[in-house]
Structure formats: structure tokens, C-alpha cells
């Protein structure tokens, strides 16, 4: 009993000691510390620094201790268009409640408003980033959270702009509930593993709302990618899950709702594609399921190239698209099953809500435009109607390999 009492006493004293050593430092004009830099020098591991409202233009701030930085009244950290504003090189750092503005611009150093270097356990929540080159830049970072941040800029050129959220060689990062606009890419990911990206709004970015490469085993859910210059690009990755996202109004000559370039063993499910030049462009992708998605009012709903195999397109709604499916192949090693096609004109005599006649979503006019793009001028002309009617009566040119044997008579609701 006495031994247990002594051990308990030791733990109690350690707990009290830790509590006494962790301080709360205040920064303001009339506080003990008038600059954040002074407080950072004085702070010890585990301390909290509270920064009151004001403008702090202090060059680059280096965080090399485990600290909690809290802003009260939205203090402004200003990079004066010259400096990287904050660099974090310590584990377990929290940054919350600040406005980061006017970072420097450098294509060599990739200057950012906030950058982490080889750390883990960081939390970057509830901040505002305004007119920075790169806003949030995580490099070799693990087990971190980036959430509820507002990131905006007024970039007019891809050359002179960085990304809103940029991750390189990271693991187990949670990016959520951020609003990202006005940058080159809203979210850029390279060599990322085991991450969850959810509930973000990425809109009005110059290039991609989301752009990632060489990143495996990641989940993207319930994000909105709206009115970005080139939509979303997913490249050279595997085991990617994209569920419940919205891809809208990504419109332009080289714009996609979603580009899948050499994506393998992945799932694209329960997403909404509306008003895009090309909703999904599939190139060199294998063993990927595209299921339970809504394709509405797109130029091209699905462009499926011959380099893709084992792609299953099933239980989707194709409604009011100019072209439902296009391909550059006469043969296909992909499968279409039980999709709803608004252009389907078949019948259902046994009333099982499945069409009695199979449906070929690639029309003769679609093939003509694919081979001769200038023919698009005939869109919705009597000649187009005649070509497609003749092909339905006597199908000779459209590929039989791309056929839905069980087209659904009604729109699917999940």
C-alpha cells in the first residue's frame, strides 16, 4: 500500500510540474511581448501564445518548439510580399485564428504563408489566407489536420501563382471544410498516402480544383469542385476512392470535371457531374468502378479511351448530355451495366423497369465528331437526326462492344 502511495505521489508531482511549466504568453502592444517573435524566443515546449488583434509584419517566423498559437480578434501576419510568413519545423504545433497575407513570391523556394517541414501532429485550423503565393504548404508531414480555413487570392497567371493547399510526400493528413479559391490549383497533392480530403469547396482556381499524382490509398468525399479552369486531374495513382463529390461548371476547351490518367483499382461513386465540358475523361485506367453517379447537362459525359481496361460503368444516370459516351476504340474491354440513359428510346413490355432492347450509347454522329471535330457544327441539325436514326435501324458503325444490355427505364435514386 505504501509503495502504491509513493508511485501515485510521483505521478502527481510530475503532472503538477508539467502544469506549472506550461505558460500562456500574451502578445499585444501593451502586453509583456509586443511582437510574436519575442514570444517565440521566450516560449518553452508546450506553451500557448495568444496574439491579440493587430498587424504583425515580422519577416519569417520560425516555429521550432511544440507550441499552440492562438489568434484573438484575427491578428494579421503580413509577409510584405517578400517573406515566407511562418515555417514550422517542430512536432505538435497548433495554429488557429490568424490572417496570413502577402507572402513573398519565389519559384525556387516555393514561398508560402505557412509551411511545415518534416513534422507530425500539426493542426492548422480556422485561419484566413489572403493574397499569398502558396498558402498552406506541407512537406514530409504526417498525422496532421488542415481544417476550416478560408484561402483566397486574385491570381491572374499560372506562372505567378502557387497553390492554396500543397502537400508533398505526406502521410495521414486530414484536409476538411476549407474554402479555396483564386490560386493556381485549389488542392495539389504529390506522393500522398492514407489521407482523407472531405467537405472542401474549391472554386474559381486558374487550373485545377484538385490535382494529384503518385498518391495511393486516399479518400476524397463530399467535396465541391466548381468553375475551375481545367477541373480536376487525378494521375498515376491507385486505390483512390472518390465518393459524394460535386464537379460543376468546369467549362473550356481543355477542361474536365474529372480526368483519370493511369488510375488503377479505384472507385468513383455517388458523385454529381453537371455542366462540364467533359464530365469524366478516362485514359489508361484499369480495374476502376464508375458507379451510381449523376451525369447531367455535360458536353461529354464520359470519354473512355482504348487504353483503359476493366472499367465498370454501372448504375449511373446519364441525363441531357450532348454526348453520353465517346471512345477512340472499335473494341472495348470495359463493361456497361444497368445505367439510365435519357436518350434511350427502347421499350419495356414486361414492365420490369429494364429495357427489353440493349442500348448503344455511342451514336453514329458521336463517332463522326470524334473523327472529324468540325462536324460538331451539325449538332441538333436534321442531318444528325437522320444519321442517328439510320444507325439505330441498321447498326453497322457503332461499336457493339460498348453496349448496355440492361438499360434502366427510370432514373436511379440513391
- 323, three cell numbers: 454526348
Domain-embedded: residue 84: yes
* Contact predicate 11/32, CB 8 Å: no
Mean pLDDT of 205-220: 97
Domain-embedded: residue 317: no
CATH number at residue 172: 2.160.20.10
Residue 174 dihedral angles phi and psi, to the nearest 5°: -110, 110
* Contact predicate 133/162, CB 8 Å: yes
User: Helix or strand or coil: residue 322?
Assistant: coil
Domain-embedded: residue 314: no
User: Does residue 228 carry a pLDDT above 80?
Assistant: yes
Other beta carbons within 10 Å of 377: 8
Domain-embedded: residue 165: yes
What does the pLDDT look like over 71-127, one tens digit per residue? 999 999 999 999 999 999 999 999 999 999 999 999 888 999 999 999 999 999 999
- 85, three cell numbers: 510568413
User: What pLDDT was estimated at residue 257?
Assistant: 96
- 286, three cell numbers: 484499369
Containing domain of residue 173, as a range?
23-199
What does the pLDDT look like over 137-178, one tens digit per residue? 999 999 999 999 999 999 888 878 999 999 999 999 999 999
Write down the number of H helices and E strands in the chain.
4, 38
Domain-embedded: residue 160: yes
User: What pLDDT was estimated at residue 331?
Assistant: 78
* Contact predicate 284/308, CB 8 Å: yes
Looking up cell 423497369, which residue turns up? 353
What does the pLDDT look like over 186-200, one tens digit per residue? 999 999 999 999 999
Domain-embedded: residue 40: yes
**Region of poorest pLDDT, from 6-10, 21-25, 26-30, 196-200:** 6-10
Mean pLDDT of 358-380: 76
- Structurally, the chain folds into a number of domains equal to 1
Domain-embedded: residue 178: yes
User: Does residue 7 carry a pLDDT above 60?
Assistant: no
- Nearest-angstrom CA–CA distance, 119 and 145: 12
Q: Give the closest residue to 165 by CA, choosing from 266, 157, 251, 153.
A: 153
Domain-embedded: residue 212: no
Q: Enter the pTM of the model.
A: 0.89
State whether the Cα torsion 294-291-247-125 is positive or negative. positive
User: Does residue 213 carry a pLDDT above 80?
Assistant: yes
State whether the Cα torsion 408-410-411-414 is positive or negative. negative
Amino acid at each position: 500500500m505504501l509503495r502504491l502511495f509513493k508511485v501515485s505521489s510521483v505521478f502527481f508531482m510530475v503532472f503538477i510540474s508539467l502544469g506549472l511549466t506550461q505558460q500562456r504568453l500574451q502578445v499585444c502592444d501593451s502586453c509583456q511581448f509586443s511582437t510574436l517573435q519575442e514570444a517565440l524566443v521566450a516560449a518553452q515546449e508546450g506553451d500557448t501564445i495568444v496574439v491579440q488583434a493587430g498587424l504583425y509584419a515580422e519577416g519569417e517566423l520560425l516555429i521550432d518548439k511544440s507550441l499552440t498559437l492562438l489568434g484573438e480578434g484575427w491578428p494579421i501576419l503580413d509577409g510584405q510580399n517578400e517573406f515566407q510568413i511562418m515555417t514550422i519545423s517542430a512536432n505538435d504545433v497548433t495554429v488557429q485564428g490568424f490572417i496570413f497575407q502577402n507572402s513573398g513570391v519565389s519559384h525556387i523556394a516555393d514561398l508560402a504563408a505557412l509551411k511545415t517541414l518534416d513534422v507530425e501532429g500539426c493542426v492548422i485550423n480556422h485561419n484566413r489566407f489572403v493574397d499569398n503565393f502558396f498558402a498552406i504548404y506541407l512537406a514530409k508531414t504526417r498525422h496532421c489536420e488542415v481544417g476550416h480555413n478560408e484561402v483566397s487570392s486574385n491570381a491572374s497567371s499560372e506562372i505567378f501563382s502557387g497553390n492554396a493547399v500543397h502537400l508533398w510526400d505526406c502521410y495521414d493528413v486530414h484536409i476538411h471544410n476549407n474554402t479555396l479559391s483564386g490560386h493556381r490549383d485549389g488542392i495539389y497533392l504529390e506522393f500522398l498516402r492514407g489521407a482523407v480530403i472531405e467537405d472542401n469547396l474549391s472554386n474559381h482556381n486558374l487550373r485545377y480544383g484538385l490535382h494529384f499524382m503518385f498518391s495511393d490509398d486516399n479518400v476524397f468525399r463530399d467535396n465541391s469542385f466548381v468553375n475551375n479552369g481545367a477541373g480536376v486531374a487525378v494521375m498515376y495513382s491507385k486505390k483512390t476512392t472518390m465518393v459524394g463529390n460535386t464537379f460543376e461548371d468546369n467549362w473550356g476547351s481543355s477542361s474536365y470535371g474529372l480526368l483519370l490518367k493511369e488510375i488503377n483499382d479505384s472507385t468513383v461513386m455517388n458523385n454529381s457531374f453537371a455542366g462540364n465540358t467533359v464530365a469524366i475523361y478516362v485514359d489508361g485506367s484499369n480495374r476502376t468502378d464508375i458507379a451510381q453517379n449523376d451525369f447531367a447537362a455535360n458536353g461529354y459525359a464520359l470519354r473512355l479511351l482504348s487504353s483503359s481496361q476493366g472499367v465498370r460503368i454501372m448504375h449511373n444516370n446519364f441525363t441531357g448530355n450532348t454526348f453520353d459516351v465517346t471512345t477512340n476504340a472499335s473494341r472495348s474491354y470495359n463493361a456497361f451495366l444497368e445505367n439510365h440513359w435519357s436518350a434511350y428510346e427502347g421499350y419495356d413490355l414486361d414492365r420490369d423497369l429494364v429495357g427489353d432492347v440493349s442500348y448503344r450509347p455511342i451514336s453514329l454522329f458521336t463517332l463522326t465528331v470524334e473523327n472529324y471535330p468540325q462536324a460538331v457544327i451539325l449538332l441538333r441539325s436534321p442531318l444528325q437526326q437522320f444519321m442517328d436514326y439510320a444507325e439505330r435501324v441498321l447498326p453497322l458503325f457503332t461499336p457493339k462492344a460498348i453496349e448496355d444490355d440492361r438499360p434502366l427505364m427510370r432514373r436511379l435514386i440513391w
